[in-house]
Structure 1
C-alpha cells in the first residue's frame, strides 16, 4: 500500500469527523443556540449543499493546478472553517463555519479519489479509493463516538477545537507523505473543457442519480438518529455515542465489503447493497421501539449504505473517460446533495408531526427508487466495458 494513501485517509478522517459528529451533538447545539432540532438540522443540510457547490465549482477552478498543492490548500480552508465553528457566538456564524469547511470536502475527495486510483495497478483501484475513504469510516467508528463523548462532557465546542487540531495534523501528513512529483506526473492537470467531457456519458448521470437517492435515504434517516433513539427506542442520551460507534462499525465493514465486491462486479454489488439498505430502513421504521432491533438496524444501515461508496465512486470514474476528476467530484457533490435532500425531507416530516421514525420511511422510499434506477442503468450500459477498469487521466 503506498504510504500516500495513509495521508489521504488522514485528511478524509478530519473531513468525515466534521461532517458526521454534528449528528450526535444536534440536541446540545440546538439547546445552546436556542433553536429547534429541525433548524439545527440545517447545520447538516447546509454543510451538504456547500459540499455540492464546492465539489463542482471549486474543482472546476483547480483542474489545471498541481494536485498536491490543491490538497494542501484545501486543508488550510478546512482548518479555518472548523476554527470559526469552534468560536461562533451565534447560530449564523456556526453555519458560516460549517459552509466554509464544507467547500473543501467535495474537491478533496474528488481529487483524492483520482490520485489514489493513480497510485496503484488497475485491478486495485477500487481498493485504493476504499483506503482513502477508510479515513471517512474511521471517523465514524472512532472519531464520531469520541467527539460526541467529548462534546457531551466538555461542551460541543471542544469537539470542533479537536477537529481543528486534527486538520493541522492532516495538513502536515499530506505535505510530507503525498509524492507531489509522482502525482503530478501520473495525474497531469487537465483543461476544464476536457474534464467536462465526463458529463456526456449517460452512465455518469445514472450513477449520480443513484448516489443522491441512496445517500439521501441513509443520511436523511441518520441525521435525526439522536432524538429517534432517545424518544422512540428508549435509550438514554448517554448511549448515543455508543450507537454512533455501532453505525461507524457498519460503515467501516460496508466500505471494505463494497470495495472487495466492486472489484469483481460493480453493478451486481450495487443492486445487492441498495436492496439491503431499503429493507433495513423499512424494518427499522416498523420496529424502532425495540432496543435490540434498533442496534442491529443501525449497524446494517451503515453497512449497506456506505458499502455503496467504493462501487459508486469507481463506476462514475470508469464512465468519466479520460477526464475522471470532474466526474469524481460531481459524484461527491451528489453524495452531499443526497444528504441535504434527506435531512430536509426528514425535517419536514418531523415538523409536520409525523414523529421521529418518519425520516426512516422517507429514506426507505428514496432507496427503493435508487434500486429501480440501478437496475435500469445496468440494463442500458454499454456492452463492452470492464467493470474494474478506471482509465488513468491524461493531460
Structure 2
C-alpha cells in the first residue's frame, strides 16, 4: 500500500481530534471566557453544523482544481483556523475560529478519503480507506485524552497550539511527498439531494441523525458529568477517555462483524436497543462501584461506534448504485445530529442538571430505533439516481 496514505490518516486524526476535543475541556473554556457550560457546548454544535454543510459545497466548487493544490490550501486554512483559536481573546472570536476550522476540517476528511482511494491500486482501496478512518477513530484513543491532559495541565490555548504544530508538519509532508493528482468527476449537488428522496433512505438517515444526537447529548458534556457525579480529577478523566476510545475502536470491528454474521438490519436494531438500555443505565451506574460504572461506559462506547459500519453496510446493500453519494450525505446528517445533541445537552444542563443528559439522549435514541424499524419495512432502493445522466 502507498505510504502516502498514512499522511492522509494522520491528517484525519488531527481533524477528528479538533471536532470533539472541546468536550473534554468545556469547563476550562467556560471559566476562561466567563460563560456557562452550555454556552461553551455551542462551540461543538456550531462546528458540527458547519462541518455537515461545507464539504459537499466545497467539493462542487473545487471540482476542476488539481487535488494536491486543493489539499495544500485546505490544510493551510485549517492551520490558520487553529492559530486563530489559540489567539482568541473573546468567546465570539473562538466561535468564529471554530467555523473556519469546521469548513476546512470537513473538506480535509472528504479529500483524505477520496485521495487515499486514488493513491492505491483497486485491490488496496478498502485497506486505504480503512487506514484513513482508523486515523479518525484513533483521535478518540489518543487525541482527545492528550488534549484533555494538555488543556488541564498547561491551558486550553496550548491545545490549539498542539493542533497547529501537527497540522504544519502534515502540510510540509504533503508539499514534499504528495504527487499532483488531476481532479476526478464529482457528482453534482442536485443529484446528491435527489438520492435522499427515497423513503427508505430517509429512514436510514434519520436513524443516524437521532443516534448521534442522542449520543452527543451526554458525550459532549461527559467531562462535567464525570466531575459532577463521580468527583473525578483531570488525570482520572483522561484515563477514562482513553478507555472510552479503545472501546470505541473495538466496537467498530464488532459492528462490522455483526453486520456480516447476521444482517445489517438485525445488527443495527439489536445494537440500538442495547444502546438505549445503556444510556438509561448510566445515571444509575454512578451509584455503583467505579469498576462497574466503567463496564457500563465501555459497553456504551463500543456500541456508539459499532452501529456506524453496520449502517454503511445497510446503505450499500439497499442502494448499491448510489451508495457513495448516500454514505457521504449520511456523514453530513451525522454531524447535524452531533450539533443537535450538543445543543440539547446544553439546554438540559442550563435548566436542570448534567445528571439528566443521558436520559434526554435516550429519548432521541428511541427515535433512532423507530427509524430503523421503519426502514426495514420499506422496500429496497433500486436506483435513486441515474449515474449515467
Q: 1:271 aligns with which of 269, 272, 279?
A: 269
2:21 aligned with 1:21: yes
- Pick closer, same or farther for the CA change 1:305–1:330 going to 2, 3 Å: same
Please give the residue correspondences for 1:153-192 in structure 2 after superposition, counting only pairs within 5 Å.
Answer: 153-175=153-175, 180-181=180-181, 184=183, 187-192=184-189
Residue 364 of structure 2 corresponds to: 366
Deviation at 1:194, TM superposition (A): 4.3
Q: TM-score, normalised by structure 2?
A: 0.87
How far apart are the structure 2 equivalents of 1:75 and 1:139? 18
Checking the alignment, whether the CA contact within 8 Å between 2:46 and 2:99 is kept in structure 1 is yes
Deviation at 1:244, TM superposition (A): 1.3
Checking the alignment, whether the CA contact within 8 Å between 1:47 and 1:98 is kept in structure 2 is yes
Task: Give CA-to-partner distance per residue, 1:162-221, whole Å, 9 cap, x none.
Answer: 00111123334445666654x85xx53344444444334444322321111111111221
How far apart are the structure 2 equivalents of 1:55 and 1:77? 14
Residue 299 of structure 2 corresponds to: 300
2:209 aligned with 1:231: no
Checking the alignment, whether the CA contact within 8 Å between 2:224 and 2:354 is kept in structure 1 is yes
Moved more, 198-207 or 271-280: 198-207
Residue 311 of structure 2 corresponds to: 312
Please give the residue correspondences for 1:320-339 in structure 2 after superposition, counting only pairs within 5 Å.
Answer: 326-339=325-338
Residue 388 of structure 1 corresponds to: none
Moved more, 230-239 or 209-218: 230-239
Number of residue-to-residue matches in the alignment: 384
Deviation at 1:255, TM superposition (A): 2.3
Task: Give CA-to-partner distance per residue, 1:204-249, whole Å, 9 cap, x none.
Answer: 3223211111111112211111111111123223322111111111
Deviation at 1:107, TM superposition (A): 3.2
* Partner secondary structure for residue 195 of structure 2: helix
How far apart are the structure 2 equivalents of 1:197 and 1:168? 38
2:252 aligned with 1:250: no
Checking the alignment, whether the CA contact within 8 Å between 1:349 and 1:358 is kept in structure 2 is yes
Checking the alignment, whether the CA contact within 8 Å between 2:141 and 2:243 is kept in structure 1 is yes
Structure 2, unpaired ranges of 5+: none
Residue 138 of structure 2 corresponds to: 138
Task: Give CA-to-partner distance per residue, 1:100-145, whole Å, 9 cap, x none.
Answer: 10113333334444555565658974x6544322111111111111
* Partner secondary structure for residue 251 of structure 1: helix
Moved more, 272-281 or 94-103: 272-281
How far apart are the structure 1 equivalents of 2:388 and 2:106? 21
Checking the alignment, whether the CA contact within 8 Å between 2:285 and 2:296 is kept in structure 1 is no
Deviation at 1:370, TM superposition (A): 0.9
Deviation at 1:252, TM superposition (A): 1.5
How far apart are the structure 2 equivalents of 1:129 and 1:105? 17
- Pick closer, same or farther for the CA change 1:173–1:261 going to 2, 3 Å: farther
Checking the alignment, whether the CA contact within 8 Å between 2:255 and 2:309 is kept in structure 1 is yes
Task: Give CA-to-partner distance per residue, 1:282-304, whole Å, 9 cap, x none.
Answer: 11132223322332233222211
Residue 54 of structure 1 corresponds to: 54
* Partner secondary structure for residue 340 of structure 2: helix
Deviation at 1:161, TM superposition (A): 0.3
- Pick closer, same or farther for the CA change 1:152–1:306 going to 2, 3 Å: same
Checking the alignment, whether the CA contact within 8 Å between 1:188 and 1:394 is kept in structure 2 is no
* Partner secondary structure for residue 380 of structure 1: coil
Structural RMSD (CA) = 3.0
